Structure 1
């Protein structure tokens, strides 16, 4: 797994306000931002403020993990997709993770192809 430190992590820089983003919601523990390369009409990333490389590592703090998933639900409701959305978590480069700061993709607004239906 590629290691990123808070100093070279794009999400840490977004959380700190050093890089621009379109924030759609936030809590004391997490932020939700629009993906800059959306894979669906609704594509929001929910990112914990605390740097952990994966959701598995984030699970050491149930408060942070719970907050992420509460914010996922809040975003889905706010975007009008609470009854039809997908949450995706990529863990490790073999699964497609490219930013090693835990985050959840919230996707909706388009029919997913059969290959996406698990």
Structure 2
């Protein structure tokens, strides 16, 4: 047979020796949370994460965006304006999905048309 398109010095056995353990570890790591679900279902820590983690993730994303645009006043202004729009929409409708979608859509519209 041929070399199966592999670089010189790399055999099919070497590729399998890397890919098979990597595939097994990947599957196990993805299945692990589901196997622990029964144990963690009534955990106060998991309930705490369920309440505060979405807010924490959104805060990190907002800060990352604003710091990333600090050198570009036009983009920073648009980002702050869309952040204000998102906060007002959240205060009015009290729906995170609608607020995030609305703020993101407004930002993308302004950024792609005006900037």
Smaller-chain TM-score bracket: under 0.3
What TM-score, normalized to structure 1?
Answer: 0.26
Greater Rg over alpha carbons, structure: 2
Please identify which structure carries the higher strand content. 1
Please identify which structure carries the higher helix content. 2
